[in-house]
Amino acid sequence: MLFKVEMDVRVPLDYDPARFEALKAAEKARFQELQRAGTWRHIWRVVGQYSNVSIFDVESNAQLHDLLTGLPLYPFMEVKVTALCRHPSSLHDDDR
């Protein structure tokens, strides 16, 4: 199942910078693990914002929920999820 996920990261101005750097490093490691597994298929930075647009490929809504809420930066994110399905004109058979 494919989902578009929009993540906006909002860090309080007074949050400890060292703790935030540690969370960012943990987030990057988790992201790369999920990317290698094919679960976090794509990511783009939204120009001019601490935001991304991502495509996830998961088995269920519950799996996506658990993945997102387990991200190290999740406590600082606003997340919007949109379910996707294959476009009838797509050349990509794995767009399911």
Ligand X SMILES: O=C(O)C[C@H]1C=CC(=O)O1
Residues interacting with ligand X, by CB under 6 A? 7, 9, 27-28, 31, 52, 73
Closer to ligand X by CB, 25 or 90: give it.
25
Note the helical H segments in the chain.
17-36, 61-69
Enter the tokens of residue 22: 């540690």
Closer to ligand X by CB, 28 or 80: give it.
28
CB of 6 to ligand X, least distance (A): 10
Query: Rounded to an integer, what distance in angstroms lies between the CA atom of residue 5 and that of residue 13?
Result: 25
CB of 72 to ligand X, least distance (A): 8
